[in-house]
Amino acid sequence: MMPGQTMAMADDTLEFAGNMAIAAHVAPGAVLKDMAKNSEMVAKYGKDGGKNMAMMAVAAKKVGIEMRTMGDMASGLLDFENSIEAQMEAS
């Protein structure tokens, strides 16, 4: 459960994640397990009751990777973008 979230909201997020997984033809249990394994990331970046993180978990499973890997990839892209920006400013 995310900070400030009621039990009903948490149940709604779990149902949403399961339905998204089924629609994407990935195992709902694998999606929920990945979300639980990365609960710190879900708590830190979760919006709309964590539904954005449920979509991320489903997308990660769809391409065969873990949420953490996808998050690391996104961070790397941001670091690359910031590096380019810093180089442009230094020129």
pTM over the 0.85 mark: no
Q: What is the mean pLDDT of residues 62-86?
A: 81
Distance CA 80, CA 49 (A): 30
Task: Tell me: pLDDT of 1 over 90.
Answer: no
Cα separation, 50 vs 35, in Å, equals: 10
CA separation for the pair 54, 14 (Å, rounded): 8
In this predicted structure, what is the pLDDT of residue 2? 58
Per-residue pLDDT tens digits for 35-63: 999 988 888 888 877 888 999 999 999 99
**What pLDDT, on the 0 to 100 scale, is given for residue 71?**
84
Comparing 49 with 31, the larger pLDDT belongs to: 31
What would the mean pLDDT of 24-39 be, rounded to a whole number?
94
Instruction: Report whether pLDDT(87) > 80.
Output: no
CB 13 within 8 A of CB 6: no
